[in-house]
Structure 1
Amino acid sequence: MRVPPGRQQIVLAALALSINRVVSTDHLIETVWGGDPPDTARTQIQICLSRLRRLLEPTGARVVTQSPGYRLDAPADGIDVRRFETQVRTAERLIMEGQDAEAADLLRAADAWWRGPALAGIDSDALRGTATRLEEERISAVETRLRIELALGRHDRLVPEITALVQAHPLREALQARLMIALYRSGRQTEALEVYRTARRRLADDLGLEPGPELRAAEQAVLTGSAALTGTPDDQHITGAAVPGAVTEPAPADQGEDRTPGPADRGGSGPTAFQLPTATADFVGREETIAATRGALLDRVDSVGVAVLLGRPGVGKSATAVEVAHQLADTHFPDGQLYCDLRATQQAPVAPAEVLRRFLRALGVPNPVVPVDEDERAAMFRGLLADRRVLIVLDDAATESQVLPLLPGSAGCGVLVTSRARLTGLPGSSCIELDVLTVPTALRLLAQTLGRDRVDNEPEAALALAHATGRLPLALRIVAARLNARTHWPLAGLVNRLADERRRLDELSHGDLTLRAGMALAYDGFDPTAARTFALLGLLEGPTIPAWAAAALVDDDRPFPSDLTEPLVDVHLLDVVGVDAAGETVHRFQELVRVFAREKLAELTTDADRRAAVERFCGGWLTLLAEANRRLLGGDHLQIAGPARRWDPPARFVEQLLADPVAWLESERNALRPVVEIAVRYGLVDHCWELVVRSAILLERRGYLSDLADLHDLAAPVVQDAGNRLGMAALVEVANSGLRDRYDTGTRRRQLTAALRDLEELGHREGQALVRRELAHLMFGELTTADATGASAAERMADERAAFELCAQALADFAAEGDRAGQWRTLMLQGRERVRRGDHDGGRADLRRALELADGTGDRRAIAQVLRAVGLAELADGLADSAADRLTAALDHVVALRDPLGEAIILQELGVVRVRQGRSADAVPLWRRSRDRFGEVRQDSARARVEAQLAALAPATD
């Protein structure tokens, strides 16, 4: 795969360096253009990413859109730099374990991943620092390997390699010292001393400096022939500095007493604290989170690594932080680990000054010497850590201001923070979100806490427990604690207890472990508006919750509805799952949080409050559906309107959200059923049927007829029981338009006739027009059947007159209502039937008028439908060339609409036209495309008909 130079390489590099982590769009813009991006920067980034997606497709890697930017999904070991880092870290562990030869081999393998300078050819100021860091990591690993290999006696083969490295890095004294030792051990003492003299001159000329301790020690060792240079243990240190490559013997272990590691062991100075809490013995999962946290803490070379673990109550932030801290303590932060619970969710969070006092005392500062002033304490704290590698774990932080004074200044230190708040203002921090456990990990946790046999004996109950607890680690541990305290309980017994949503949070409590308490602490910090928003959101059942829904529920008209949900998101009582077309957030409740919200709903609201909130929510849906139809059809057409109360989201928001109404429907399609369900549950009869009517055309056009049937069947019984005649007539019209295959013609005729009678008595002219047109369509279809079954001529003539009369009445009603869509549809039906019955001039005139009206709506699907009807009429008149032009134009429209079924139909008909034109060879590719499209949409009988056409044509085209 070759990625073109320039922006695409820069964007790919930025994503790859943060593989499997979200990189914000703003960061990508900064990386490409620095501080002077063009106005089209976001669009250009999107174009880059679109091209990268195509380039990456064969590799299996994917660029995923995720707020606030993009994420490159690929195995971490598919990136060279990650392979390098993994192998270096493994080598560090091997060194600690005394496996030097294995470590050296692994470091050499790690170096093999490098094929030149880091990020070579990528012109980005923002990435230049990263490239420098990576180069530094590489050369540091090389120096470590050379030290080990010299100690292992591999000096002969190292001389050429180190010589090349010195030429490439002439100011790195460690390399010069290692070259001196390799030369000396190879019997080349004079050359070793020349290396020193050359290095000294260069340092003096370029920097005005003398060689450092390591290089001076190497020179002195060569001059004196020190035993350390030969690897013998009797002279290990020269002028206070270890000679590179010298083999050191381990100090004898203390006998007869336990010993806590101190600064002599860990390279620091002064007392050191090791305050980490005990790691959770049955910790499971979180591999990706741990990897991201390690990267955030360890990847920075020139500044403190700060990782912030975020998540809802009970998700396991503290346990994960302690697990990571224990994994990194010895190898990466050997000078100590400081820990403090900042108690953000308790009534009195710990003040930074108090935390600093505790840390200073742990670092050996006597209490009388601890400064009184917070700033002075922070300065002393930073000074004590200046030359140490210490990890600071700050659990349950409240705000940035609580954490900022506790940050060290030493680049060798790391800070690991947990919080429910989004602490995005900490300098250089990486925020890492913890989600609930996956199902397999949740089952592993149950197996470890309950015992594998108990879980294996009731696998279905164990799975039900995982789902009932929302896969929250705290909830799973509570379940395990209860079951371990009652070994005679079957798992299924607790599943039954958790089935009642009203008691679920009561059941998820054991001793000091309680899930409700954690959520209550976050909820108690809400202002009245946030508390009411949270509670009312508990009414909703859909897979996602748009931000505007919160505004509807609380009847708030602010221009940015997400301002209502942000306080809930900040404390992780509401999840963000995306951003809609208007730039507003889309949310989802974790199941147990929804249960807690419903508890608060019962406390804060009355039945009347809840019904009014649901009415506004459903009214908001009606507003959006009506506007989507208006944009699609060029007006409020082809629908029976009712009296259901509307609620209007902000106009700016609606304008942006429905810029592409079809795309909006696709994003919200799965939410339609829960909306109708809640309208049914609260007895909002008019909203029930109008929601079905308003969504019908959108669903029909996308082929989602099973969805439409589902919504219709939900609403119909409620509307029928309420005796709502307008609603039932509207549902009959929808069923006979989009779901006509559900009924035989006799049933449909009876339904439509009864609906028309009701609409006439109610005086609903638009509804009458719609039903008359549908009834005429049905009768024309029956006439065709009657021809085949031998109906009398008189009967056919009477029905034909009645059908045309229905069309005429429908046209008059549509015209009176200003419904252009209704007019073109009726004219198309009437014109088609006139042509079929021999009135070619009248029929084509109707179709031309239909085309004018369809053009006026701007509805491409309408234009395509009428063009097709005109083309077929012209074909029937023998005007094959004109018919071909019409059908080709219709084909262009359906291709643009991405309608494979419409494409298949028109391609088939266009093939027939080519045969009529005497161009049979041109029909073959058209029918082949038609056959393939019918196959794509699983229209097997239509596909077979096209196959038969191709077979019949084969002899003529051979």
Structure 2
Amino acid sequence: MLDFGQDEAGQRLSFRLLGPLQVIGERGAVHIPPGRQEIILAALLLEVNHVVSTNFLVDLIWNHEPPETARTQVQICVSRLRKLFAAEGLDAAITTRPPGYVLTADENAVDAAVFTRLFAKARMLKDKGQRAEAVAGLRAADELWVGDCLSGLASEPLRSKSQQLDEERLTAIETRLELELELGRHRELIGELQHMVRVLPLRERLRGQLMLALYRSGRQAEALETYRSGRELLAEELGLDPGDELRKLEASILASDLSLLHPSADPQPGEPDTGGPGQPPAAGATALPPALLHTEVLRQLPADTADFVADEEQVAEIERALAGNGATSCGGLVAVVGKPGAGKSALATHVAHRLSETGFPDGQLYCDLRGTSCSPATSNEVLGRFLRALSIPGPMVPEGPDERAEMYRALLASRRVLVVLDDAASEQQILPLLPGSRTCAVLVTSRVRLTALPGVHRVELDVMPPDRALALLVSVLGADRVERERAAAEQVIRTVGALPLALRIISARLAGRPHWTLASMMQRLSNERHRLDELTHGEMTVRASLSLTHDGLDAEPRRLLRLLSLAQGTMLPGWLGGALLDHHGAFPSDLLEPLVDVQMLDVVGAESAGGFRYRFHEITRLFAREQLTTHEDPHARTAAAERMFGAWLSLAEQAHRRIYGGDFTVLHGSAPRWQLPQNCVDELLVNPTLWLDSEQLNLCQAVQHAAEEQMHELCWDLATSLVTLFEVRGYHEQWEHTHQQALAAVRAAGNERGAAALLCSLGSLYLRSSRHEESSAALRDALASFERIGDRHGLALCRRDLALLARMGGDDGQALGLYGAALADFDKVGDMVGLAMVLNQRAHIRMRQGHGDLARAELDEALGIYRSVGYTGGQARTLRRMGQMLMQRGEHAAAVRTLTETLELCRDNRDVIGEGHLLNDLGNALAEMRRVDEAKRFYGEALVIREQIMDQAGAARVRLNLARLLATTGEEAHSRALLETPECALRNRRMPHEPKTAEQAMWARSGPDFTL
């Protein structure tokens, strides 16, 4: 056991920051003159034993408008503090250390340092399971506080650091309360928690702890009232809903979840924790559904530069600014700006990695905004990516930018996340991506100054100072080699203008040729500079270095560098070199390694299935494109591009086959494919949907690029192949954008089949988006084209979707006719999955018309087809429809067995939307069977999922079902509480009049197999 009373807390404290600033000398309290001396002392104590720059102290006092004598006045204040320390016998000293001053003292003499150490030690004990000891340490840490940090000190700039310590104190208190709840002290904690919630009513973790303490003490109604009052306060004060954790807890309390009664309420020996075969899990088996137990911390950063030479003062400046300065609605907002090659991205990535664990434990969001490219990312596109990364299923991502931004801010409201936006084009691109929470921060890089960005702290990068430039060469080449030719090394640095990118390229070139001297490199570089003297100064030295390295490469990597510039994506897959060079070796990524060795390509991440992902610096890409134009004839460029697009198409086609069990429900054309080695395909497509998602940007850009190159047949085939991804992940913008680009290309080329295929696919998109008139027009135009050219497969796809439109419009007769024709065509062309989809959809009409036996036969046939090809998505939807049919017929026990099987399929596929539907269905079936406790638990789990994915309409439906069940069991108060929620009340008023739309069918569909 660790003793908290002797090593830190028992030491006499000379400096107190955790409350009003106090200094204790040999004769007692020491008077510090208020004003400048007090502010400087506080700043030095907050960074005890670390250097604080004079510029920072000047800004603290004069807020960026210092007089000419500012530095002199700071020196005078420091001198007076030194004299005061000596006179009062304080065991501390202030010494000058460039670029400022450092206060040297035993950290145990500063209460803030003691608090930090006690908190860290308590966390260590907590991790080891020593909860009682950790609680004792946390209580000792809290006893150091006598008020808010530096209370009474009139310094706005110091407030961000003091607020950070105040926040850490609250986190320590919450951690201690959590541990005490785990120790079973819920009754003793209620009074303290009620006081804390009154003082900090918006602190959701404290409110959740109070709810849990009340619930465990048998005060369920008070626990729910605590939630309701918090929700109303959040809505009134901030216009926000409670966070995920609080909503999950409310749902579990409403469901009377037994696992909440004690944190370690594991099943007792002999007690089963799940039901038998065909039975739903037993009540209390788990507090949260499995889909929510696998939430991962966001880790989107590119790889850090291994030999990065940091300016520690600059890094510290950025880290301080990211902590927040109160000038912006989010936390810190920092923009790193500078010329090309200055190392903006490398610095931002380095800082983000340093802060990843301590400053932002909930993760990092990253996006290359492509600000210097011909097609910068839109903020709406980036919001969609971030929402999916934050576990919102694609179909639940809103279409409009305002709705996306609102959801994004709500999801980040209670998280500590760092958002890194690389290569920004403008303020307008950034503003919608700012979180609304002070717990998050944003780090931006850009070539423009971003002066109109509110509250931004700018860090401007220029060339490297000589000492760091030399250190960079040493880090790559070794100290001995650089020291032997110190003068030549310094001349190389001057020649390239000390630009980091140029230095990295040159040092990598030298590292690969140990027999070259720095002097010979200097001579070569000088010659190259003369050859490139027409270039602008800002990029001249980088281009000179690139040209030098390019000309020194062997023929194959030199050609590959040029051909790689054809790819427009920001991250390049390792196999791409094989396609561009028409190289069929088993390990195509090896072709890229020579370019990595000389810093012409950067390794920025790993593939999901192994291997690496690569990226050009934008200047390197431009240089490679220039070389491509100079050295490759148009025919060779076209052939390489066709192989690259053909490889993308081949992989997308094979991904579709692995998901659907074959070339079902999709049309293909005659464009040539380029086949990767089978071992590469198998590695990449272990999870085909995941691969499609990870390559979404590259695939969409390939469609656009193929359209621009007038490769119309390849263009439409790739676009329609990507629907496999677009519909499952809800990429509606990308779906429409790629298809419109391809449509323009095929129409210009007179490609009628390609145009019909694209219109048919757009009809499905418009149907999914409830744009029924546009859907009908597109489908009928496609139908007419397919009739003219006699394409039965295309006719079947069009008629299937036109039947669904008729069915949604209430015309069952027309729908059945179209379904019949589609069935015949799907059967003729051998599209078994298309046939099964029609059977599944038609069964719904049969059920509605009272032909239950016929519906069951068609569902059985569809299920058999899906199982024979291994298409699990179709199996799940068919089984769910069977379960619903069994419920209609009053066969509730059979329905529970069928729906439970479907639930397991959804969980295996990580289909969180389907899981939410199935949990609600099981709640309905169990409620009909009067298995009340189990029904309540399933409703509770369904509610947790619906609220996690921010499906308010779906959550309202579940609340209504749960409220009706509670009303029948005498729990009127809980039932009323559910019905009083705004969404539920609105839903209740609308339910009798709601039209049936495609919104009801948003359950993880693959193909237009809607569930209505």
TM-score, length-scaled by structure 2: 0.47
From the CA coordinates, give the structure whose radius of gyration is larger.
1
